[in-house]
Structure 1
Amino acid sequence: MLSIATWNINSVRLRMPIVERFIKEQSPDILCLQEIKCQEHQFPFEAFRALGYEHFAIHGQKGYHGVATVGKVPFRDFSKHDWQDNGEARHIGVELTDPAHQGVIVENVYVPAGGDIPDREQNVKFGQKLDFFERMTRWADAIDRPTLIVGDFNVAPLESDVWSHKQLLKVVSHTPLEVETLQRFMDAHGWDDIGRQHIPDPERYFSWWSYRSKDRKANDRGRRLDHMWASPELARQATGHSVHEYARDWEKPSDHVPLITEFDL
């Protein structure tokens, strides 16, 4: 068995106490973090080692973005793509190397949010987000290994992935153009959406709630921005998937919550 978690942590050093709490409660074999907001030399390696994580792949930058994959099982750096095409640290890929899971690829990605205006001409950030997905799509066309891609995609594609489909149709993260662009990425490799395999549409499934909401539980204005997608052969080996929504209520939380998928490999 192998358990893999993904979590946009929104500063790993600031939120190390809740990362530690999550690890002690769930103990995933691999944890993929996005938005670590630190350079590699600033990453809290010793805190993770004290929790049993000895393997690291870090792609960081000062103060912004950044991704990290940590593991109790061994892996090697496999890929580091600049799908933003501007040097930002938004991706790291690893290949598992232990005999039980050898050859499985885990790609960890933080897709740009895309700004506030869903128009390429008026908002450069929105165009960068669409271009990011197009570069990912070309990459996915050539995948020939069992691959899991996880992270903050910053798109909630289904109507049941948002608190109000009607009210969010013109809001960045749920616009038809973003959904269509994400679908092209899915089709390029034939990815299986593991989350929706285990929590079928139209069941409620959110992974992010804005800090601006005064009463998150009462309003429940969530979106499913975080995803775990797998190659078809790997997806068939997924035995469970869980959304750890309670972490949104911990002290000094991230605005995202962790997801875990278990595999029988």
Structure 2
Amino acid sequence: MAFTLATWNINSVRLREQLVCKLMEAEAPDVLCLQECKSPVDKIPLEAFKALGYGHMVARGEKGYNGVAIFSKLPLEEAGAEDFAGLGHARHIAARLENGVTIHNHYVPAGGDVPDREVNVKFGQKLDYLTDLRDAFHANAPEKSILVGDLNIAPREDDVWSHKQLLKVVSHTPTEVEHLGEAQDAGNWVDVTRTDIPEGQLYSWWSYRARDWDAADKGRRLDHIWATKDIASAAHGSRIVRDARGWEKPSDHAPVFATFDL
């Protein structure tokens, strides 16, 4: 069974319903994971997505904040939702496909502006979320699983436009990278995107603040697709649909894709 999966921080699924539809029509992933949906589940415009063949959904939502959803052409069933760091936020949802693969969709806290938990509660929440994630993987080693989402960390030097200039900027600080790496190692996760595209600058996010984001190209790779080692070798075809960042009234993130032959 081959299927293509995409992950995208949509920054409001209701406001950008047409962009979701555009991606579904143009790229047709079998499974689409969205973060920052900013909508209660019952307000998600599911009918429009069903009309394009996405008849299956699992989701967790909040009014105006956070929110994660998985839309699929393939049958799936909900496989849990955890409240990492006890924040009471809708930041995780899991679904299981009929082939037994479990997909975990995460929206890790952004962490605010100051990389110091003593003065910035949001940064502490981010680190706590990652610590809980690490501990969960130690307690229950994942198998036959894919983890995707806006993890809000660009871990490698070539995942940011300037490693030196961003070392003290939230999303690329050494402590964040360390926490993310510990979570990845605890679950024996393989970074599918970087396995397929091992070299060179690679970004999935460009700030709204940039007057010309494309020309400036000051991006970061905040959005990730990981797989457990037992299925990672089945992954291929990774890509980032950069053009989506330039669509009308876009999200500041671009969708990340990978295909699995299982």
Short-chain TM bin:
over 0.9
Q: Which residue of 2 aligns with 1:186?
A: 184
Matched, 1:132 2:129: yes
The secondary structure found in structure 2 opposite 1:79 is coil
TM superposition shift of 1:138: 1.0
- Normalized against structure 1, the TM-score is what? 0.97
Q: Which residue of 1 aligns with 2:231?
A: 234
- What are the equivalent positions in structure 2 for 1:62-77 lying under 5 Å apart? 62-77=63-78
TM superposition shift of 1:209: 0.3
Q: Which residue of 2 aligns with 1:256?
A: 253
Number of equivalenced pairs: 260
CA distance in 1, matches of 2:90, 2:189: 24
Give yes or no for contact 2:68–2:106 (8 Å, CA) kept in 1: yes
Give yes or no for contact 2:39–2:67 (8 Å, CA) kept in 1: yes
TM superposition shift of 1:20: 0.9
Matched to 1:149, the amino acid is L
- What are the equivalent positions in structure 2 for 1:123-202 lying under 5 Å apart? 123-141=120-138, 142-201=140-199
- What are the equivalent positions in structure 2 for 1:31-110 lying under 5 Å apart? 31-97=32-98, 102-110=99-107
1:34-80 CA-partner distances (Å, limit 9, x unpaired):
00000011011101111111111010011100000010000100010
Give yes or no for contact 2:143–2:230 (8 Å, CA) kept in 1: no
The secondary structure found in structure 2 opposite 1:84 is helix
- Normalized against structure 2, the TM-score is what? 0.98
List alignment gaps of at least 5 residues for structure 1: none
- What are the equivalent positions in structure 2 for 1:3-14 lying under 5 Å apart? 3-14=4-15
The secondary structure found in structure 1 opposite 2:175 is helix
CA distance in 1, matches of 2:56, 2:93: 14
Q: Which residue of 1 aligns with 2:216?
A: 219
The secondary structure found in structure 1 opposite 2:224 is strand
Matched to 1:227, the amino acid is H
CA distance in 1, matches of 2:141, 2:46: 31
Give yes or no for contact 2:4–2:258 (8 Å, CA) kept in 1: yes
TM superposition shift of 1:164: 0.4
Runs of 4+ in 1 over 6 A off after TM superposition: none
